[in-house]
């Protein structure tokens, strides 16, 4: 099996070969726009060559910082929101046991990674503080501007905690800032205080930043092999460089999504059968939704965590409105497995005794796929061979390059997010932020 396979065999009832051939000229144009920098948002496409053209010196500093964190901290608090944390969280979950234990001889081999600054809940923040307890910890604050509300609040809290625990000077050694190379509130503070700094590249938007320091430092601190992660992405960069749909499965995925969208399938569910893939779905939702959802257009990205969700909204998928299609992500060889015990019991499992849970899970996956196709739900399958850093890097690039093509096929700029600012303006107005006085009055009258 190749590193990643894309199975579209269950689409034959929904899309024919002629339709794929007809969209090829548009894919060719989209490829030119993406790779020659002639399309909208071209200034934010440096991620295309990132796996082979990343900053080697910074990469070495990331590895060194991860070792430093490992030696002096039992916990790493990662502060960021959106693209500043989703990719890292997806990778940390994907590469570790579900509960991120990573114990060795009764001691944690790598620091526990806790993500915060991604909401405005005081209850959540208090829970994080209790979880840290009296353990040694460090902080990686990730923000290009340093003024995004959610991470800025969290950073204030944990900066104060570090200073109270270690003192103002010693705490500076435990703060790692990933921010803009030249400007911004966090950059200014980091320069002034002497925090170790890593760069959010100008040409890489947040939702594409997992293979930069934004994702690499937390992943490395959690024990992830970031060299293999980049190697997998580099292999995908090479494999998905041809605009010919017959040779490029990432482009096939983009094309089929757009064909289905034009037929009225306006919601895509990314499906998994492994809890360690749940956060990958969260990363994917931002990648797809923020890239394509604009100008009154776009496929709505959602996720399904099976078989769990088959007992909740599975009925809707099977027999509800026929505006859904599914993309199943699965791993051929599980990271670990359990054999179902043989015993005398009245639980009806005699026919499964001695079989592995991965086998049962696979049959559940195949059976569900066929049932949903029979029910009128188009299905595609993205499958990787192993659940490791190399395959993860490869799959990340598969979805990134696909959404770049997909956005251009749908006539939108895949690399901006103008709608994200709307809620922020209203929030600032209601909070009484200076400069928003007129908006404050208008909004409070509406409420």
- Could you list the active site residues? 290, 424
CA angle 354, 356, 361 (to 5 degrees): 135
Residue 340: is it exposed, middle or buried by C-beta count within 10 angstroms (0-12/13-18/19+)? middle
Spell out the SS3 assignment of the chain: CCCEEEECHHHCCCCCHHHHHHHHHHHHHHHHHHHHCCCCCHHHEHHHCHHHHCCHHHHHHHHHHHHHHHHHCCEEEEECCHHHCHHHHHHHHHHCCCCCCCEECCEECCCEEEEECCCCCHHHHHHHHHHHCCCCEEEEEECCCCCCHHHHHHHHHHHHHHHHHHCHHHHHHHEEEEECCCCCHHHHHHHHHCCEEEECCCCECHHHHHHCHHHHHHHHHCCCCHHHHHHHHHHHHHHCCCCCCCCCHHHHHHHHHHHHHHCCCCEEEEEECCHHHHHHHHHHHHHHHHHHCECCECCEEEEEECCHHHHCCHHHHHHCCCCEEEEEEEEEECCCCCECCCCCCCCCCHHHCCCEHHHHHHHHHHHHHHHHHHCCCCEEEEEEEECCHHHHHHHHHHHHHHHHHHHHHCCCCCCCCCCHHHHHHHHHHHHCCCCCHHHHHHHHHHC
């Amino acid at each position: 099996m190749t590193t990643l396979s894309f199975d579209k065999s269950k689409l034959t009832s929904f899309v024919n070969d002629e339709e794929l051939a007809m969209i090829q000229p548009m894919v060719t144009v989209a490829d030119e726009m993406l790779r020659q920098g002639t399309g909208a948002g071209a200034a934010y496409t440096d991620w295309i060559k990132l796996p082979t053209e990343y900053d080697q010196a910074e990469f070495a500093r990331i590895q060194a910082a991860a070792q430093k964190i490992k030696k002096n901290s039992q916990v790493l608090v990662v502060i960021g929101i959106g693209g500043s944390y989703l990719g890292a969280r997806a990778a940390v979950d994907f590469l570790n046991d579900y509960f991120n234990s990573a114990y060795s001889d009764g001691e944690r081999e790598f620091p526990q990674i806790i993500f915060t600054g991604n909401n405005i809940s005081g209850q959540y923040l208090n829970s994080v503080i209790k979880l840290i307890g009296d353990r040694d910890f460090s902080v990686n604050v990730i923000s290009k501007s340093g003024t995004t509300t959610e991470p800025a609040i969290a950073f204030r809290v944990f900066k104060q905690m570090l200073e109270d625990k270690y003192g103002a000077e010693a705490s500076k050694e435990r703060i790692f800032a990933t921010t803009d190379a030249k400007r911004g509130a966090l950059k200014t503070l980091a320069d002034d205080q002497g925090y170790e700094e890593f760069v959010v590249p100008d040409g890489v938007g947040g939702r594409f930043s997992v293979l930069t320091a934004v994702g690499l430092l937390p992943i490395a601190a959690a024990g992830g092999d970031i060299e293999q992660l980049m190697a997998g992405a580099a292999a995908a960069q090479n494999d998905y460089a041809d605009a010919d749909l017959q040779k490029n499965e990432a482009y096939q995925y983009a094309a089929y999504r757009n064909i289905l969208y034009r037929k009225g399938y306006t919601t895509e569910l990314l499906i998994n059968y492994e809890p360690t893939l749940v956060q990958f779905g969260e990363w994917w939702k931002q990648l797809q939704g923020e890239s394509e959802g604009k100008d009154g257009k776009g496929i709505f990205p959602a996720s399904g965590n099976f078989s769990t969700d088959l007992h909740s909204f599975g009925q809707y998928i099977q027999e509800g409105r026929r505006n859904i299609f599914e993309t199943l992500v699965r791993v051929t060889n599980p990271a670990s497995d359990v054999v179902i015990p043989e015993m005398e019991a009245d639980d009806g499992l005699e026919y499964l005794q001695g079989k592995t849970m991965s086998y049962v899970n696979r049959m559940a996956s195949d059976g569900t796929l066929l049932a949903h196709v029979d029910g009128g739900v188009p299905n595609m399958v993205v499958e990787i061979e192993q659940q490791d850093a190399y395959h993860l890097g490869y799959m990340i690039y598969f979805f990134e390059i696909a959404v770049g093509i997909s956005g251009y096929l749908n006539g939108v700029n895949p690399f901006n997010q103008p709608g994200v600012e709307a809620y922020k303006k209203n929030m600032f107005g209601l909070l009484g932020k200076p400069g928003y006085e007129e908006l404050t009055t208008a909004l409070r009258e509406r409420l």
